[in-house]
Chains A and B, each alone.
Chain A
Amino acid sequence: MMGTETELTDDIDQPLRDRLKAHPKPALLWGIGLCVLLLLEGPTYLDGLLGAIGYGLGVLPGAPGAEAFASASAFFGELPHLLSRELIPNRGYYDGSSWQGTFLGLEPKYAWLIRFLLVYVYVAVLLGWLWYGYVLFRRHYRAADWTPTDDVIDRLRSHYWGLFGLAVVVFFITMAVFAPVVGPTTAEENIQGPYSHEMQYFNEDTETVETITIGEANLGSASRGSGDSNVGIWSYDDFGRFHPVGTLVSGKDLFTFLAFGARVSLFIGLGSMAIAGFIATTLALVTAYYKGVTDLIVVLTSDSVQAMPALLLVILATVVFKNHWIAEIYNGAMLFILLFALIRWPGLWRAVRGPALQVGEQEWVDAAKSYGQRPTVIMRKHMAPYILGYLLVYASLTLGGVIISVSALSFLGLGITAPTPEWGRAINIGQQYIASQSWHISLIPGILITLVVTGFNALSDGIRDAIDPQSEGAEGGATGAAAGGGGG
């Protein structure tokens, strides 16, 4: 899909510029709208981007420039923006008559809910605006009045199961991207350094406002299944803190944990799929173009990779690399990306090999050879666009599997190390309380994993039916797989 878009623009860039000049108004208005939307949240994006670069540099030996990026990131982090806890604070204390410190003096629960919803409204508006931009482009600026991509998009638009998947995926990605704002508290305060942050609360016994470290407060808000030591779904703890889905055994906020856990899962899932997808596509194109010995070598390699017991390999690698610097990056997430890319590329390659061989047989490939087009260009321009769709389908299916695997490893205590939150670990922690009143610790992350994996599967169904309308009607299988996979 994207391939067509770029080809189109780079081929006829001159006419596009002319068309923009001839009729600039819609584009200009749209551009202004986009700027406003981006500026509202500009500091967050810059903070995130620079922070990630700084973090990346920090891992390198000598950490060149990491400081500068970190401080720049911190600078942007301080700037006011729309979706921030400073603008809509949800934490405060009840002084006996009213809430202090919360947004408009509302109850923390509503203050949090407003911020949470605002995040999703913002994302919805942003995506809607981008879609509107595409519509404008189609209507006013695109030289072609019809492209094959239009049909694909139209089919996807009427594919409700696929749209459901898309919605779930967007929900999940938003949660991951805006993790610091959607949670009722932050990872820094609540998870990483609870004893270095303080908070105020209203002590009902003494009827005074007291200060306490968050760590101590957490001791009092723990969910341990028995007695009154439980903070369940949609409730306050003794310190006036609101927990949308309850607390962990340690008394930490589960929602915040889950939001940051989404980040890790998504990071590993997308990262490993990007690498595996790149390897798979490259190999599929090369083998479909050259065939023969090349194909044979790749078949043998992928077979041997697939013959390895994947889980054992991952476990082994986590142990071997325990103190290696790669394992330090993002508490092991980077290591998992590499491992899952290594394990999963043969599957993806197999999935796109057929389409690649098929497109390699097309006469337009011969035509391109006959006027002397370079092999790399033939692969990129005449073959790749036809297999990217299939790659997307299988990558999003596989991505669900990766998320489950990571959770499973964390569940076994081998995955992402504490303190970085990971859903599987929450399931593990809460496992022994599943029959008690603290059932939420295991169940909520379990449901989320199921939902997310189903979402990715549904999206992949939608894409498949959109790019290949003949294959419709295989929904049952994918849903079944998702349901089966959700148990992890």
Chain B
Amino acid sequence: MSESVIETTSHQTGETLLDVQDLKTYYEGGGLLGGDPVKAVDGVNFEISRGETFGLVGESGCGKTTLGRTLIQLETATSGTVSFDGTDITELSGDDLKEWRRNAQMVFQDPESSLNDRMTVGEIIREPLDVHDQGTASERREKVRTLLDQVGLMPEHYYRYPHQFSGGQRQRIGIARALALEPEFVVLDEPVSALDVSVQAQILNLLEDLQEEFGLTYLFIAHDLSVVRHICDRVGVMYLGNLMEVGPTEQLFQNPENPYTRALLSAIPEPDPTAQVDRITLPGSPPSPRDPPEGCPFATRCPVRIRPEDIEASDEVWDRIREFRDVIRERSRAEQSIGERLKERLGFDTALADSEEIVDEEFSDVDLPSDVRGHVEQAAAYLSDGEPDAARAYLREVFGSQCDTETPQYYDVGDRRMSFCHRHAQEHVSPGDELRQRGYDTHDG
């Protein structure tokens, strides 16, 4: 599927610079006992063409920064490949890796933290040149002065310290440092999010100018969608370590396909405040990346999740079931505290007391179809027995669908676009139609 994308990519040069295949980056669980690893990036595929700006958006914690850091080898990939100009950089080490590093640099998010305050601006920008032994000392100093000029600072700023600069200027220094080695690829990690709005535009313009001048390829990580729309050629939407949708910016913004993209975009305020829209507000919070849902990562919150055919229930009941499953899910996640364990040993009821309460709270004011009630009570029984895991598994069994069990694949959804959702398959109603059916407003009307 991705091959078809390669052939058609980029209006600029059409050549793939970076090809990411099934990339995973896990952090080992902290502490002695290890625990589950944090699945920050959990299998993503995409390419970036030479000269383009690829945007990466998503809520905080979705793994976009980790993905960016993995692409420049600041994090070690757990599996998968990142091929840069044909070389798999996840395999590089030692001198080869150091040599490669000059090709890919990063501009960091926080200009307060990205510059060492104890060094002069000149030393900061010069350090990459020193590390890679470029030219003589005076040539390097000259190069730094040129860079200062290129990012809109003065050569005499060489001997100043970062403290003496504003946020925007500090970010310019960071950009100069990233460009010192003349890289081809630059990861921009929310480069303007810490800046004043008035300064943001200047920095974005600078980045665009530099891209043109040096033929740079950008990976632009952001949570501000309007900035992404402004600067990116293509966008990838990330959720819980997965790329949910990839496509050219304008098309993706105007006509989102994936349910998550739709939800994300519906959070942008409408230009027309009088327009009555029913925004898609996502229930609950994203699950822990230590314990992502099986099947589709978005399944716990998806407004159009596929429902099992054998259960008839109203939207409201399904809502309650989802909430109930969330609660059980958290229950099974939570480690028992020592106090609780002790209580249990001593014969106090720990689980029983509240399992009925939970059911009550969720379902007391709705009419449950009898089969649903039966399932809920069965789960509550597991919970009272102190087996939240069994309750969770049971609920998945009876209320789950393809979304809970099978990882979706990437479906081709139009011009160089891919979406990660079962609903694009022939046999299902498409996400947009289903949304309308369930009473949400959709962008594509």
- The residue from A14, A146, A367, A385 contacting B118, defined by CB atoms under 8 A apart: A385
The yes or no answer to B438 lying at the interface (CB within 8 A) is no
B161 CB to nearest A CB, Å: 6
**Contact, CB under 8 Å: A146 / B160:** yes
B209 CB to nearest A CB, Å: 22
Q: Which A residue sits closest to B163, measured CB to CB?
A: A148
Neighbouring A residues of B131 by C-beta, 8 Å: 371-374
Neighbouring A residues of B177 by C-beta, 8 Å: 367
The complex places the Cα of A367 from the Cα of B180 at a distance, in Å, of: 12
- The residue from A8, A367, A381 contacting B108, defined by CB atoms under 8 A apart: A367
Neighbouring A residues of B104 by C-beta, 8 Å: 370
Residues 241-278 of A, flagged 1 when their CB comes within 8 A of B and 0 if not, give 00000000000000000000000000000000000000
The complex places the Cα of A57 from the Cα of B106 at a distance, in Å, of: 53
**Contact, CB under 8 Å: A370 / B74:** yes
Neighbouring B residues of A382 by C-beta, 8 Å: 116
The yes or no answer to A12 lying at the interface (CB within 8 A) is yes
Stretch of B94-102, B228-236, B408-416 lying at the A interface: B94-102
Neighbouring A residues of B108 by C-beta, 8 Å: 363, 366-367
**Contact, CB under 8 Å: A364 / B106:** no
**Contact, CB under 8 Å: B118 / A144:** no
The yes or no answer to B441 lying at the interface (CB within 8 A) is no
The complex places the Cα of A292 from the Cα of B115 at a distance, in Å, of: 26
Decide yes or no: A363 and B160 within 8 Å by CB, A3-B118, A371-B181 being known contacts.
Answer: no
The yes or no answer to B72 lying at the interface (CB within 8 A) is yes
**Contact, CB under 8 Å: B101 / A363:** no
Decide yes or no: A372 and B161 within 8 Å by CB, A11-B120, A148-B117 being known contacts.
Answer: no
A300 CB to nearest B CB, Å: 11
**Contact, CB under 8 Å: B164 / A146:** yes
Residues 130-149 of A, flagged 1 when their CB comes within 8 A of B and 0 if not, give 00000000000001111110
Decide yes or no: A4 and B128 within 8 Å by CB, A146-B164, A367-B108, A371-B181 being known contacts.
Answer: no
Decide yes or no: A364 and B116 within 8 Å by CB, A14-B137, A372-B97 being known contacts.
Answer: yes
**Contact, CB under 8 Å: B114 / A364:** yes
Q: Which A residue sits closest to B180, measured CB to CB?
A: A371
**Contact, CB under 8 Å: A148 / B120:** no
The complex places the Cα of A3 from the Cα of B117 at a distance, in Å, of: 12
Neighbouring B residues of A381 by C-beta, 8 Å: 116, 119
Please classify the interface of chain A as helix (H, G, I), strand (E, B), loop, or mixed, using the class held by over half of its residues. helix
The complex places the Cα of A473 from the Cα of B322 at a distance, in Å, of: 53
A438 CB to nearest B CB, Å: 55
**Contact, CB under 8 Å: A367 / B106:** yes
Q: Which B residue sits closest to A371, measured CB to CB?
A: B128
The complex places the Cα of A363 from the Cα of B187 at a distance, in Å, of: 14
Decide yes or no: A144 and B161 within 8 Å by CB, A7-B119, A371-B102, A385-B118 being known contacts.
Answer: yes
The yes or no answer to A386 lying at the interface (CB within 8 A) is yes
Neighbouring A residues of B127 by C-beta, 8 Å: 368, 371, 373
Q: Which B residue sits closest to A382, measured CB to CB?
A: B116
Q: Which B residue sits closest to A150, measured CB to CB?
A: B161
- The residue from A144, A372, A385 contacting B159, defined by CB atoms under 8 A apart: A144
Using a CB-CB cutoff of 8 Å, which residues 118-166 of chain A contact chain B? Answer: 143-148
The yes or no answer to B109 lying at the interface (CB within 8 A) is yes
Neighbouring B residues of A362 by C-beta, 8 Å: 113-114, 116
Using a CB-CB cutoff of 8 Å, which residues 3-27 of chain A contact chain B? Answer: 3-4, 7-8, 11-12, 14
For chain B, the count of residues having a C-beta within 8 Å of the partner chain is: 43
Using a CB-CB cutoff of 8 Å, which residues 67-117 of chain B contact chain A? Answer: 69, 72-74, 97-98, 101-102, 104-106, 108-110, 113-117
Q: Which B residue sits closest to A8, measured CB to CB?
A: B120
The complex places the Cα of A14 from the Cα of B136 at a distance, in Å, of: 13
**Contact, CB under 8 Å: A144 / B160:** yes
The complex places the Cα of A402 from the Cα of B200 at a distance, in Å, of: 54
Neighbouring A residues of B32 by C-beta, 8 Å: 296
Neighbouring B residues of A368 by C-beta, 8 Å: 127
**Contact, CB under 8 Å: A371 / B159:** no
The complex places the Cα of A366 from the Cα of B189 at a distance, in Å, of: 12
Neighbouring A residues of B69 by C-beta, 8 Å: 366
Neighbouring B residues of A370 by C-beta, 8 Å: 72-74, 101, 104-106
Neighbouring A residues of B122 by C-beta, 8 Å: 11-12
A236 CB to nearest B CB, Å: 57
The yes or no answer to A324 lying at the interface (CB within 8 A) is no
Q: Which A residue sits closest to B183, measured CB to CB?
A: A371
Residues 291-310 of A, flagged 1 when their CB comes within 8 A of B and 0 if not, give 01000100000000000000
A362 CB to nearest B CB, Å: 5
Decide yes or no: A371 and B132 within 8 Å by CB, A11-B123, A12-B159, A366-B108 being known contacts.
Answer: yes
Q: Which B residue sits closest to A366, measured CB to CB?
A: B74
**Contact, CB under 8 Å: A143 / B97:** no
A14 CB to nearest B CB, Å: 7
The yes or no answer to A369 lying at the interface (CB within 8 A) is yes
A377 CB to nearest B CB, Å: 8
**Contact, CB under 8 Å: B118 / A369:** no
**Contact, CB under 8 Å: A371 / B101:** yes
The complex places the Cα of A407 from the Cα of B383 at a distance, in Å, of: 65
The yes or no answer to B364 lying at the interface (CB within 8 A) is no
* 27 A-B pairs whose Cβ atoms sit less than 8 Å apart in the complex: A11-B122, A11-B126, A12-B120, A12-B122, A14-B138, A143-B159, A144-B120, A146-B160, A146-B163, A146-B164, A148-B117, A362-B113, A363-B108, A363-B109, A363-B114, A364-B113, A364-B115, A364-B116, A367-B177, A370-B106, A371-B105, A371-B128, A372-B97, A372-B98, A372-B101, A372-B102, A372-B131
Extra pairs beyond A12-B120, A366-B69, A371-B180 (14, CB < 8 Å): A4-B118, A11-B123, A12-B159, A143-B159, A145-B160, A148-B161, A362-B116, A367-B108, A371-B102, A371-B105, A371-B127, A371-B131, A371-B181, A372-B131
List of 10 A-B pairs having minimum Cβ-Cβ separation, nearest first: A372-B98, A371-B128, A363-B114, A143-B159, A363-B108, A144-B159, A372-B101, A364-B116, A363-B113, A385-B118
Taking Cβ atoms with an 8 Å cutoff, the residues of B that contact A are 28, 32, 69, 72-74, 97-98, 101-102, 104-106, 108-110, 113-120, 122-123, 126-128, 131-132, 137-138, 158-161, 163-164, 174, 177, 180-181
